[in-house]
Amino acid sequence: MDALIWDNNPDAHRFAEAAVKALLASFPGVGNQNVRKDRKRQSKGPSVLEIGCGTGVFSLRLLPYVGSILAVDVSHPMIQVLRLKIAEMCNPTERKHIAPLCLSVEDPEDPALPPGQGGKRKKFDLVTGHLLLHHVADHKALLETMFGCLKPGGRLALTDFADFGPEARLFHPEGKMGDVEHDQGVNPKAIEKLMRQVGFEETNVSVAWTSEKEVERFPGEWGPKGLQKPESVRTMEFSFVLCSGRKPKDSSKYSDYSSGSEPVFYHDRTRTQ
């Protein structure tokens, strides 16, 4: 998919806004506006790995609420657009808290990932991905990688459109099916079962929001690249799920915080300050 076309797609921005709201709602108090304004405090927030960041439509919306984001995507054009957006849209302090990286993350110990402790790669408080799952053929392998990228006690939060049957395939026009692996979206029961098999606890996969989207009335209506919309279009309502879970804690707590305390999110921090 062309990076600029994606970045200029109103649906991409609407869905990203809804996804960030859903993620924040799953952690009560994270959206405190005072936290957003205090950049010194931001640096003590959770470290985030976003896989499949694209042009950063989700990343840049999440950035004000977290300590840092490593935004990873396999597409060079997508990462190039994100780098330009960071330079143009972020202030100098914000730029220090987000790092774009072009990489296919398949190994938690990939040398291209930032270094951590004990010779291993950095582990994160939160691993997330927005509209990622339907582009990945092997969900179990992806979840295993994400599990390995988390600190003990770290959280997983994935958002994508839900599989409600054959009509869910209309989410993408026929001309944009080239990199789609699951054309009907995410099966909530199947993905939660895989999350548990991988080792996540406190799993939950449920509808977080619904949204209307323009769709083709017949396959190929919008042309070979899916860009030729007619004046009159059909709209459909799609459900989007938030897939959340936690990596079990163990006795050897890993933390990047100077206090040596367990990784916490903002709603925990505000209760203890």
pLDDT recorded at residue 258: 30
> What pLDDT, in 10s, does the model give residues 171-190?
998 888 888 899 899 999 99
pLDDT recorded at residue 30: 52
pLDDT recorded at residue 8: 86
Counted domains in the chain: 1
Look at 123 and 40; give whichever has higher pLDDT: 123
The residue range of the domain holding 66 is 3-272
> What pLDDT, in 10s, does the model give residues 195-209?
999 999 999 999 999
pLDDT recorded at residue 257: 34
pLDDT recorded at residue 254: 38
Q: Would you place residue 246 in the very low, low, confident or very high pLDDT band (cuts 50, 70, 90)?
A: very high
pLDDT recorded at residue 119: 87
C-alpha to C-alpha distance for 53 and 76, rounded to whole angstroms = 11
pLDDT recorded at residue 266: 36
Q: Would you place residue 3 in the very low, low, confident or very high pLDDT band (cuts 50, 70, 90)?
A: confident
Check whether 44 has a pLDDT greater than 90: no
- For range 224-250, the mean pLDDT: 91
> What pLDDT, in 10s, does the model give residues 66-101?
999 999 999 999 999 999 999 999 999 999 999 999
120: domain CATH number?
Answer: 3.40.50.150
Tell me the percentage of the chain whose pLDDT exceeds 90: 70
